């Protein structure tokens, strides 16, 4: 299994010694659901969630993407319970600038106090003294990148980095202009945006970041809460005798993307299947 994961390749975050396999694990959906509140509360089977995290690491995954507003707090607490003390090569990447409303909504949290509290929440619930990578998530629009200055919140994050609470800074849900603005304030090691076979607004951005050696991390690479569906994808899967997940991941891994992670999926026990899907195909 480790060999299959490593076949996807690896990369080093720019300006760091962190080398990660391109197949990682997105932990968002390890949290539960309460009616219409998504990513809310504990999962129905915490033991299964713990098992999938341990299987992920045993399968060669050494990058986990998370956030303390998943749950909230629940996902990070499960990660700590499952994996602490953490393997030396495991990189945990988290996000800040969001808080959850009582109705499950996703609310911008850009103030210095909110950002500082979020970093400390991540440290406490993950059981860490310093965070490997913290992504600042732009929240001018919840569901897609939207223009607006991120100078003030990124400056706060850069100050927390100087204090030794954060090693590296990344961005999420951002536009090219926001990336350029951020790079004037602090080194940026990765950009995490919505991207997959059917959602390709960042094609040009991916190429630009690759030239600068900045990792691009697609979220919802398999479609997120709703799996990707298209007649073309169905035809290809039938012709190849593969699954939609396998074809979708193979397509992504053939691009010049420096990083790709699958979402955790609705059922934790599906992780072994998803790791097997990382084996590249000569299909395009």
Catalytic residues: 70
CA proximity to 271, closest of 22, 3, 24: 24
Q: Are strands 106-108 and 98-100 parallel, antiparallel or unpaired?
A: antiparallel
Give the torsion through C-alpha atoms of 2, 190, 225, 145, to 10 deg: -170
Rounded Cα–Cα distance for residues 104 and 68 (Å):
14
CA proximity to 191, closest of 161, 168, 222: 168
At residue 227, what are phi and psi to the nearest 5 degrees?
Answer: -55, 150
Question: What stretches of the chain adopt beta strand conformation (E)?
Answer: 10-12, 19-21, 25-26, 33-34, 37-38, 63-65, 91-96, 98-100, 106-108, 131-137, 166-172, 188-194, 215-219
Q: Is residue 10 a contact partner of residue 62, using CB atoms and an 8 Å limit?
A: no
**DSSP code, position 138:** P
């Amino acid at each position: 299994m480790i060999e299959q994961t490593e076949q996807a390749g690896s990369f080093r975050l720019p300006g760091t010694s962190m080398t990660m396999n391109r197949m990682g694990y997105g932990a968002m959906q390890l949290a539960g659901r309460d009616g219409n509140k998504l990513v809310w509360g504990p999962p129905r089977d915490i033991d299964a969630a713990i098992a999938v995290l341990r299987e992920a690491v045993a399968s060669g995954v050494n990058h986990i993407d998370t956030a303390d507003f998943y749950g909230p707090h629940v996902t990070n607490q499960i990660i700590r319970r499952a994996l602490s003390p953490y393997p030396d090569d495991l990189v945990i990447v988290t996000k800040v600038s969001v808080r959850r409303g009582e109705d499950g909504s996703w609310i911008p949290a850009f103030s210095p106090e909110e950002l500082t509290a979020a970093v400390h929440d991540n440290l406490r619930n993950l059981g860490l003294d310093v965070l490997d990578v913290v992504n600042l998530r732009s929240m001018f629009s919840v569901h897609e990148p939207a223009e607006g200055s991120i100078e003030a919140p990124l400056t706060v994050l850069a100050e927390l980095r100087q204090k030794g609470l954060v090693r590296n800074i990344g961005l999420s849900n951002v536009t090219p202009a926001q990336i350029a603005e951020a790079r004037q304030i602090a080194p940026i090691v990765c950009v995490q945006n919505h991207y997959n076979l059917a959602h390709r607004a960042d094609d040009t951005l991916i190429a630009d970041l690759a030239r600068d050696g900045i990792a691009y991390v697609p979220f919802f690479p398999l479609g997120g809460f709703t799996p990707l569906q298209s007649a073309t994808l169905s035809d290809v899967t039938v012709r190849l005798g593969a699954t939609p997940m396998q074809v979708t991941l193979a397509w992504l891994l053939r691009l010049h993307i420096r990083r790709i992670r699958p979402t955790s999926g609705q059922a934790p026990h599906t992780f072994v299947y998803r790791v097997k899907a990382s084996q590249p195909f000569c299909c395009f």
